[in-house]
Chain A
Amino acid sequence: MASASVTSDPYVYRKRRNWKPLRIAFYYAFLIPLLLIWLVPIFMTLLTSVRSLDDITLNGPFSWPSSFEIENFSEAWSSGGLNRYMLNSFIITIPALIICLSLSSLAAFALARFTFKGNLIIYFTFVGGSLLPFQILMLPVYQLSNTLNLYDTYWALIIFHGAFQIGFCTFVLRNFIRTIPGEIFDAARIDGASEFRIYHQHVMPLSLPALAALATLEFTWIFNDYLWALILVQRDKLKPVTTGLASLRGEYIQAFNIQFAGTLIAVVPTVLLFIFLQRYFIQGLTMGSGK
């Protein structure tokens, strides 16, 4: 296109060159307001979180803050119990992440590198299971947690998330490992390396990009889980930040400033993760959509 536009006719040439900046101006004039409108809920949360209740009631929800109360954050953090809830979220998310990544990498290695009876069926079971609606698992998982004395402990959530997320991670990792050239494995085998050694000394280092992408994505998913926290954990001091926020809301029913301060604290970990590891996050999602 660009080379086609360079013609001997100076008029055409000038016309195209003049037209482009205008087009770019239109482009930004359209996208910037669109994005600003799209993000209004986020701006309003930020504004409301620093206003005082009097200010909100007096001036309505949609006005510039006439008060600035940073104390809303400390109120939500300590009296609202966000400090405890945040810690719980990490206590649940990190072990669950380790379980699902380590086990799914084992499964993915076997499914990607060996031909054996049932390979495809096992693979499809992992993928299909990860797409099920959660309701079909809720009652048995609740009962199983009860039977194993895991109900209302961190472990109920850690093990469930660790197990359930194996499906998606195996799917992504298996397809990634298949793209590793087979010569690497053959060379290692000739050197007499055991399969397990090939797995952890050759395949895992090569799979780091996929593992990083999955870790970012899975961290966000497990951290943001609400449904399972609602069902498997009862005690307030064990709640992760999602169900914690729901109780915070019950405690401060009309105090939206405190609620929103809590909300903003709650999103810090996943937002930071997204800002710094955006590339991995997006890779994980697109890898997961089946190429």
Chain B
Amino acid sequence: MAEITARDVSSFSGTTRKQYWRDIHRLTPYLFLILPIALYCAWVIGPMFYSVWMSFTNADGISRQDYIGQANFRRLFNDDIFWTSLLNNFKWLIAFITFPIVAGLGLAILLNNDLPGTRFFKAGFFSPMVVSTVVIGLVWSWMYQPYGMINEVLSRLGRDAMPIGFLADPEIVNWAIIGAALWRQVGYVMLLYLAGLKNVDRTLVEASRVDGASSFQSFKDIVIPMLQPVTVIIVVISVIDALRSFDLVNIMTRGGPFNQSSVLAQMMYIEAFNNYNMGYGAAIATVLALISIVFIFAYLRRMLKDEMEY
């Protein structure tokens, strides 16, 4: 950029008009980019680095913030809530890369045909993705109530015991919230697989069937390997989504009871915006971001490979 500005200045003094226009032309992409980059840096990239800086300070939103070294991180690694939240995030992650991928792939394969009604089925399974997480949180909280729908169904099916406190039992609560999240996620994964299946060469599958492969064999040995690039992307996106989980936790339990359903995002929110431990909150955010960045880089590396082939 600096080099271009220097050339530009020199072109003003003396060189031909044609030369001047060629140099201006080199500036064109930057002119297009200046506004979007400025806004993006001010509200996304800049804040990211500033958060990292804040995690080394004692910011509380009122008094002056001073550099306090790694104190926040030392405190964090001795905080039980941090380890609970991290473990819960890990459970979210495991759930997100298993059930929706199996169920989404299954649905995609079932719906990858042109029988009447498949469009309707696709829309139906995808519909939870269209409504906001607040709505899903409200509805599932109600279903999970001690005298709510799920307990009612269980007792009608013959379960004869105390109703299960899905959102009150520390052992269950995290999985209960994950259940609501999975309900939303399956349709999304299904759609991505449906898009991926369009690129699977049907003639290969049919050829294998003619050669005597069972439908399971041709699925396992031809369809699954051909879906591998899509699967990688789905796994990475699911991991990033799992690490982002906040809305449902905040709406359904606010991390309770006894922080047993807390995730890093919820813990950060409570520390930073309820307890005004902003430096500490920034430290939690930094750890969360570092974990995410590993996966973001994996995703970007894959994209870079595609770019090189282009």
CB atoms of B132 and A267 under 8 A apart: yes
How many positions in chain B have a CB within 8 Å of any CB in the partner chain?
A: 101
Given A136-B48, A223-B132, do A24 and B115 touch, yes or no (CB 8 Å)? yes
Residues in chain B near residue A129, CB distance under 8 A: 40, 44-45, 48
Query: Main secondary structure on chain B at its contact with chain A?
Result: helix
Give the interface segment out of A6-14, A138-146, A180-188, A204-212: A138-146
Contact with A along B121-149 (1 / 0, CB 8 A): 10111111011111110111011010111
Q: How far is A110 from B32 in the complex, measured between Cα atoms in Å?
A: 6
Is B51 a contact of A274 with CB atoms below 8 Å? no
Within the complex, the shortest CB–CB distance from A122 to chain B, in Å, comes to: 7
CB <8 Å contact, A116 and B138: no
B139 touches A139 (CB 8 A): no
Q: In angstroms, how far is the closest chain B Cβ from the Cβ of A126?
A: 7
Contact partners of A230 in chain B: CB under 8 A: 250
If A124-B304, A226-B133 are given as contacts, then 12 extra A-B residue pairs at C-beta distance below 8 Å, sorted by A number, are A24-B115, A61-B148, A107-B32, A109-B32, A111-B29, A137-B48, A139-B47, A139-B59, A220-B130, A259-B142, A281-B130, A285-B191
A-B contact pairs, 29 of them (CB 8 A): A35-B124, A62-B156, A104-B36, A111-B29, A114-B28, A116-B30, A124-B304, A129-B48, A132-B48, A133-B288, A135-B289, A136-B288, A137-B47, A137-B48, A142-B273, A163-B40, A195-B28, A220-B130, A243-B134, A260-B142, A263-B135, A263-B138, A271-B131, A273-B130, A274-B130, A281-B130, A285-B188, A289-B230, A290-B306
Question: A interface vs B, CB < 8 Å?
Answer: 1, 4, 24, 27-28, 30-31, 35, 38-42, 44-45, 48, 60-62, 99, 103-104, 106-107, 109-111, 113-114, 116-120, 122, 124-129, 131-144, 159-160, 162-164, 166-167, 170, 178, 195, 199, 220, 223-227, 230-231, 241-243, 245-246, 249, 256, 259-260, 263, 266-267, 270-271, 273-275, 278, 281-282, 285-286, 289-291
